[in-house]
Amino acid sequence: MKNKEKMLFPVVCVLLLGLGVETGGFQLSVLQMAKEFRISTSSMGLMIGAQYGAIMLMPLIFGKCSDRWGKKYVILGAMLVFLAGCLLIIAAPGYGAVLTGIFVLGSGYSVCESTATAVLTDQFAQKAGGYISLTQSCFSLGAVAGPLLVDYGIRRFGMDWRLTFLMPAGLYACMLIPLLFTKVRPLRRETVPAGENENKERRFRPDLVMGCLIFSMVIYVGIENGTGYFADTFLELDLQITGKASGVIAAFWSAMILSRIVSGILYRLKRKLLLICYTGSMMLLAGLYFVSDLSVVTLMFFLMGIFYGPVWPALMGIAAEEYPGRTGAVTGLMASACGAGGALFPVLMGWSLQLFGVRASYLLMAALAGLAVASILMLYRYLRGDWHIPSEK
């Protein structure tokens, strides 16, 4: 592989690191933003939903286009949009301008993440799953650093929540030139021999398989966001603990770094890992209803990070592998599923918080994680039964 092609992986790692910084920092900052603009918990959920509403819409438009126009240029455009959104939020005079900026940011965020994932599949073929897991580890590293750096900036230098958006904006501005000079291979289009094509088309059921993948992704992103974005709310409003949310969120994302590295090594077992992860998540979310001690809560958030970590790379990897030649369109569709979960669940959580409180809201997420377990079992049936794919050993 030539040097310009080798640049792709580290460039994508840095891009995902920046997205992680924004995600983790936003999870810490959302309550402070709500206090500054004097909005309710439901409006706080709307801020989160604005970002994920954009994540739901934009990949549907640009995912398929990236297969035609070239993924590198779509990523460059998405980076510029992300930068514009960050700057708009930083300069926003009021809540309405913040919502607009968050939507713009989410538009660039979603297209950048989904297209970068697709380009790794094109560039590294059968090894792509491991590379995707490693880049997601960088995302998790950024999500650990984000809240810690924001908290340090506030305490040490008197800065505010705007640091959440200033840091990734600077990082993305620095990465525009390196990406421009990175060489990206053209889209891989695999062919099926004539004798096999007829049989494969007869038995191919993308509606069932993609439906399971999309549903599982919606649930995953929903419970991950519900866990992370409302951690500060849980500690401060329910447990009456202030100033500790950055440590809890950092523990959550630190665990994801470890589990995503491990899942990259064990990528061939991704289907079994999915079932284990969703089941473990369901049990831990239900367990939050019964705990009050800060150390126990921190441990449970760490364990949830362990279980959440492998899910996104595994779902994306399965989707890209099952639809070769359409990686941009498929990863765009999965990114839209991310946006749907991220847009709907914070609003649902904000509504649930007002009616039932934080603990009951975590029970609701546990029930939804149980539905994801059923979806993964259905996915097993179609991938191993209808298609006769050998079980993973």
Question: Got the DSSP string for 160-173?
Answer: -TTHHHHHHHHHHH
For 310, the token pair is: 């492998």
Quote the mean pLDDT of the chain: 82
- Angle among Cα 159, 161, 163 to the nearest 5 degrees reads 65
Contacts of 350 (CB under 8 A, 6+ apart): 40, 41, 42, 43, 44, 45, 46
Digit-coded pLDDT (tens) for 117-170: 888 877 776 676 778 888 888 998 998 898 889 989 988 888 889 999 999 999
Res. 253: pLDDT tops 60: yes
The predicted structure's pLDDT at residue 122 = 76
The predicted structure's pLDDT at residue 107 = 92
Mean pLDDT of 274-301: 92
The predicted structure's pLDDT at residue 42 = 66
Digit-coded pLDDT (tens) for 181-198: 887 766 554 433 444 443
**Residue 304 banded pLDDT, cuts 50, 70, 90:** very high
Mean pLDDT of 290-310: 92
Q: Tell me the CA distances in angstroms from 48 to 41, 53, 100, 252, 364, one per residue in order.
A: 11, 9, 12, 19, 19
The predicted structure's pLDDT at residue 121 = 76
**Share above pLDDT 90 across residues of the chain, in percent, rounded to a whole number:** 28
**Residue 207 banded pLDDT, cuts 50, 70, 90:** low
Instruction: Kindly provide the residue ranges of all beta strands, DSSP E only, lying in the chain, ordered along the sequence.
Output: none
The predicted structure's pLDDT at residue 2 = 60
- Angle among Cα 199, 68, 64 to the nearest 5 degrees reads 65
389 DSSP assignment: P
Digit-coded pLDDT (tens) for 233-245: 788 878 888 878 8
- Specify whether the backbone of 388 is left (phi greater than 0), alpha (psi in -120 to 50) or beta: left
The predicted structure's pLDDT at residue 8 = 84
Q: Which amino acid is at 82?
A: F
Digit-coded pLDDT (tens) for 348-382: 777 777 778 778 888 888 999 999 999 988 888 77
> Is the full-model pTM beyond 0.85?
no
Say how many C-beta atoms besides its own lie within 10 A of residue 220's C-beta: 25
Say how many C-beta atoms besides its own lie within 10 A of residue 99's C-beta: 20
- Rounded Cα distance between 128 and 133, Å, is 9
The predicted structure's pLDDT at residue 206 = 52
- Angle among Cα 154, 158, 161 to the nearest 5 degrees reads 45
Digit-coded pLDDT (tens) for 52-107: 788 888 887 777 676 677 788 889 999 999 999 999 999 998 889 999 999 999 99
The predicted structure's pLDDT at residue 388 = 40
Q: Are 143 and 229 in contact (CB under 8 A)?
A: no
